[in-house]
Amino acid sequence: MKRCKALLWVLHLLIRFLPVWTLRLQNLTLSSSRLNVGDTLISPSGHFELGIFPYPAESGRYYLCVRYAAPIQQVAVWVANREIPLSQQSYLELSSPNGNLQLSDPDNNVAQIPWSSNTADAGVGRAQLLDTGNLVLVDNDGNPIWDSFKNSSITDTLLPGQYFYKIGNINLTSWLTKDDPATGNGTYTFGWGTRANMSGSILQLAWTSPKVFSVWRGGTYIPGPDDTNPHIIPDVDYVYFDATQGNLYFPSTPANIVIISGGDLVSSTTLKRLTLDADGGLRIWQFTVGTSKTWTAEANWVVTERHSQCFTIGTCGPFSLCNMSPFGSLDRVQCTCPYGFKPINPDDLSRGCTPIERLSGSDLCNASKVNLTVLNDIDMPWGGDYRNLTGAESANCQAECLKDCKCAGAVYSKNEQRCWMKMTPLYNLGYPTVTLHGSDRTAFIKISLYQPPSPESDQGKFKLWMIALVVVGGLLGLGLLVACCVYYRRENHITGPGGEPLHPPWRG
Ligand SMILES: *[C@@H]1O[C@H](CO)[C@@H](O)[C@H](O)[C@H]1NC(C)=O
Ligand SMILES: *[C@@H]1O[C@H](CO)[C@@H](O)[C@H](O)[C@H]1NC(C)=O
Ligand SMILES: *[C@@H]1O[C@H](CO)[C@@H](O)[C@H](O)[C@H]1NC(C)=O
Ligand SMILES: *[C@@H]1O[C@H](CO)[C@@H](O)[C@H](O)[C@H]1NC(C)=O
Ligand SMILES: *[C@@H]1O[C@H](CO)[C@@H](O)[C@H](O)[C@H]1NC(C)=O
Ligand SMILES: *[C@@H]1O[C@H](CO)[C@@H](O)[C@H](O)[C@H]1NC(C)=O
Ligand SMILES: *[C@@H]1O[C@H](CO)[C@@H](O)[C@H](O)[C@H]1NC(C)=O
Ligand SMILES: *[C@@H]1O[C@H](CO)[C@@H](O)[C@H](O)[C@H]1NC(C)=O
């Protein structure tokens, strides 16, 4: 009997800790099985894998991705369902007989297909992941019909050998954050843009289009929203990430023009990717199989400049104060919310801030409803300007903003006696302008006159409650322990219902 229980215990442990049986496929064919969460389609070299993976890990939010496979640091290079996360029950299949590669998520609306290759009845016979990282759908003779390099709408990454076409005005689009592949407000785009009054196209890096952040100009790039004098590139239909050099090129005669280059030559062990990162940096990343632990950035076209990431629009999200600590360092951004605002996501302060008390409509210019938060030595250098006043006093800058419903905030310059009035949303609050402007600039941000009691006092209350809980909990625990001891001494032989000692088998 004892032995039997021990066996059951071992079995239980095995079932709990043995990995779930997963598939590692090389081809996904019409008749073959589904790709469930945990299954992968791998490239022949094993460098890439296609699967349904969670981002962030353990989040329960799953995405169909092509990513580098371990031991390479597992970075996603292509995500099919960027907007719609899937559940753990989701699966990928090459539907039979029509040959559409499609995702299904039984936990959500089954009728709604989160993503599909739209290749129904195009003759697809097989899906394969190539060594280049390209996911291809081919017919039974191996002729390509669809591939993730050319036919998928938006990505944030180019791989060696990948062309980036102007057709359909496709953009590289960054992830919203390092953990969230979503696109939309708050992301960067890299691609072709146009300007009113100008013919031809411009290769540009923009933030939540159409806000242009930097413009490529033959061999170098121009930081800042240089709308006045952009480089108009001749009408090329593509740029490409060279398979050998690993440079981003722009085709030209007599020689192709390098847009971004960096790092070593691409080889079977030196891997490169070009990614438009969530912070707006368009970077060439490199990883050497067998040597590297993580990907390292070899070159970039970054929107950071003047030694401050806070200059980059959107680093801290809307209505957020950006600060570098220590000043001048490139990787220590601190985002905080000004008085009257709270974080959109307390776990990720770079997502920005939102008013604690929201005002709308005519309340935005009702003198008995609005007030201004005053931020000394702070500028808001980018965007949102709709009006400026010259010969202004600080007081009348504030008064004008308060009574204008459109005004979300204003910047005042003492030296220029100028007031720039800005619309919502406000970005780049706190770009450290002291070095540029001394204490010339003051920012005003419109808030509700009514402000609820500050969260600090709530925190104080919370702490008191915690202390009370711990004390009471501790006393209860102690009481229980004493009661148990007394009981144990009285019963000194304890048995279970079947007469078996209630001990784990390793002690029996
Ligand atoms: C996958 O398809 C390719 C091309 O037909 C073939 O060379 C390869 O052997 C297939 N792999 C497997 C595991 O069936
Ligand atoms: C994929 O892209 C290529 C090149 O742009 C195009 O010729 C082909 O028709 C596309 N395939 C599908 C299924 O859209
Ligand atoms: C994006 O921003 C615009 C303008 O600020 C706003 O109108 C729109 O609702 C936003 N979209 C989303 C999805 O947040
Ligand atoms: C277009 O160009 C003309 C002449 O250069 C200029 O006067 C006008 O302001 C420009 N319009 C716009 C919308 O930029
Ligand atoms: C690509 O980005 C530019 C801004 O840089 C924008 O004007 C254009 O509409 C975007 N195209 C697509 C397809 O999103
Ligand atoms: C401003 O707000 C007050 C208080 O709610 C209200 O009585 C008044 O009618 C409002 N004024 C306007 C112009 O909306
Ligand atoms: C308006 O905001 C300022 C801080 O910017 C504050 O000192 C002042 O007390 C506020 N006014 C009212 C009436 O709450
Ligand atoms: C102020 O506004 C005028 C238009 O009203 C504009 O032409 C000018 O460039 C603005 N000046 C600054 C410094 O923003």
SS3 99: coil
Q: Across the strands, what pairs with 41?
A: 25, 50
For atom 4 of ligand 6, the residue with the nearest CA is 368
CA angle at residue 189 from 185 to 195, to 5 degrees? 100
Residue with the smallest CA separation from ligand 3 atom 11 is: 185
Residue 135 Cα to ligand 1 midpoint, Å, equals 14
In 3-state terms the chain splits into helix, strand, coil percentages (rounded to 5) of 15, 35, 50
> Which one of 3.40.50.300, 3.90.1150.10, 3.50.4.10, 3.40.50.2300 gives the CATH number of domain 320-448?
3.50.4.10
Evaluate the CA torsion angle 439, 417, 370, 367 in order and state its sign: positive
- State in Å: Cα 389 to ligand 8 middle: 8
What pLDDT does 501 receive?
33
Query: CB of 193 closer than 6 A to ligand 5?
Result: yes
- For residue 141, give every residue at least 6 positions away whose Cβ sits within 8 Å of its Cβ, in sequence order, or none: none
- Tokens 């390209």 map to which residue? 134
- d(CA 284, CA 133) in angstroms, rounded, equals 16
d(CA 141, CA 151): 20
The tokens describing 420, both together, are: 């720039």
Q: Which residues pair with 12 in a beta bridge?
A: none
Token pair recorded at residue 193:
């843009």
- Going from the Cα of 459 to the center of ligand 3, the distance in angstroms, rounded, reads 32
Cβ(266)–Cβ(246) under 8 Å? Answer: yes
- Give dist(CA 158, CA 469) in Å, integer: 53
> Is the CB of 448 within 6 Å of ligand 7?
no
CA-to-CA distance for 235 and 221, rounded, in angstroms? Answer: 18
**Coil/strand/helix, residue 102:** strand
Q: Return the ligand 2 atom nearest residue 150 CA.
A: 2
Asked whether 371 lines ligand 7 (CB < 6 A), one says: yes
The closest residue, in CA terms, to atom 14 on ligand 7 is 449
pLDDT of residue 432: 56
pTM for this entry: 0.69
pLDDT at 387: 94
SS (H, E, C) 392-446: CCHHHHHHHHHHCCCCCEEEEECCCCEEEEECCCCCCECECCHHHHCCCEEEEEE
How far is Cα 245 from Cα 258, in angstroms, rounded to an integer?
Answer: 11
pLDDT at 229: 45
Q: Tell me the CA end-to-end span of the chain in Å, nearest whole number.
A: 11
Q: How far is the CA of 145 from the centre of ligand 2 (A)?
A: 7
Select from 1.10.10.10, 3.40.50.360, 3.40.50.300, 2.90.10.10 the CATH code of 21-150.
2.90.10.10
Q: Quick one: pLDDT at residue 500? A: 36
Supply the residue whose CA is at minimum distance from atom 4 of ligand 1.
142
Ligand 6, atom 13: closest residue by C-alpha: 366
The answer to whether the CB of 341 falls within 8 A of the CB of 426 is no
Q: How far apart are the CA of 493 and the centre of ligand 4, in A? A: 96
How far apart are the CA of 170 and the centre of ligand 2, in A? 14
pLDDT one digit per residue (tens) for the chain, 508 residues: 455 566 556 555 544 544 456 777 777 887 677 899 999 999 999 999 999 999 988 889 999 999 999 999 999 999 999 999 999 999 999 988 889 999 999 887 766 789 999 999 999 999 999 999 999 999 999 999 999 998 887 899 999 999 998 877 678 999 988 888 998 777 888 888 766 555 567 777 777 755 566 666 554 454 444 444 444 555 678 889 999 999 998 888 788 888 888 889 999 999 999 999 887 788 899 999 999 999 998 877 765 544 566 766 667 878 988 876 655 444 567 889 999 999 988 887 877 899 999 999 999 999 999 999 999 988 887 667 899 999 989 999 999 999 999 999 999 999 999 999 999 888 777 765 566 677 889 999 999 999 988 655 555 555 656 656 666 666 777 767 666 555 555 555 433 333 333 333 333 2
Residue 314: CB atoms within 10 A of its CB come to: 26
CB 500 within 8 A of CB 2: yes
Which residue has its alpha carbon closest to ligand 1 atom 13? 26
Q: What is the 3-state secondary structure (H, E, C) of 31-94?
A: CCCCEECCCEEECCCCCEEEEEEECCCCCCCEEEEEEECCCCCCCEEEECCCCCCECCCCEEEE
Q: State if residue 442 touches ligand 7 by the CB under 6 angstroms criterion.
A: no
At 459 the pLDDT is 56
Q: Is the CB of 171 under 6 A from ligand 5?
A: yes
The CA distance from 294 to 385, in Å, is 42
Pocket perturbation via mutation, ligand 2, pick of 119, 146, 166 by most ligand atoms within 8 A of CB: 146
Ligand 2 closest atom vs CA 147: 1
- Find the residues whose C-beta lies inside 6 A of ligand 6: 362, 366, 368-369
Residues of the chain with CATH 2.90.10.10: 21-150, 153-303
Measured from the Cβ of residue 47, the count of other Cβ atoms closer than 10 Å reads 19
> 310: helix, coil or strand?
helix
Ligand nearest to the backbone CA of 340: 7
Angstrom distance (rounded) from CA 71 to CA 39? 17
Cβ neighbours, 10 Å, residue 412? 25
Ligand 5 mutation pick, 154, 165, 169, max ligand atoms within 8 A of CB: 169
Sign of CA dihedral 410, 412, 417, 418: negative
Q: Is 257 left (phi over 0), alpha (psi -120 to 50) or beta?
A: beta
CA 418 to centroid of chain Cα atoms: 37
Asked if the bond preceding 223 is cis, omega within 30° of 0, the reply is no
Residues flanking ligand 1, CB < 6 Å: 26-27, 128
CATH 3.50.4.10 location in the chain: 320-448
| Top mutation candidate among 121, 136, 150 for ligand 2, by most atoms within 8 Å of CB | 150
Ligand 2 atom 2: the closest Cα is on which residue? 151
309 Cα to the center of ligand 2, angstroms = 39
Give me the architecture of the 153-303 domain, per CATH: Orthogonal Prism (2.90)
- What is residue 439's predicted lDDT score, i.e. its pLDDT? 82
CA-nearest residue for atom 11, ligand 5, is 169
User: Closest ligand to 442 CA?
Assistant: 7
CB 44 within 8 A of CB 69: no
In the reported structure, the alpha carbon of residue 376 is separated from the centroid of ligand 8 by a whole-number distance in angstroms of 23
119 CA: nearest ligand 2 atom: 13
Q: 3-state class of 492 per DSSP?
A: coil
> What separation in Å is there between the alpha carbon of 384 and the centre of ligand 6?
27
* CA of 165 relative to ligand 5 center, distance in Å: 13
Q: Which residues contact 233 (CB under 8 A, 6 or more apart)?
A: 200, 201, 202, 203, 216, 218, 250
Count of CB atoms within 10 A of residue 58's CB? Answer: 6
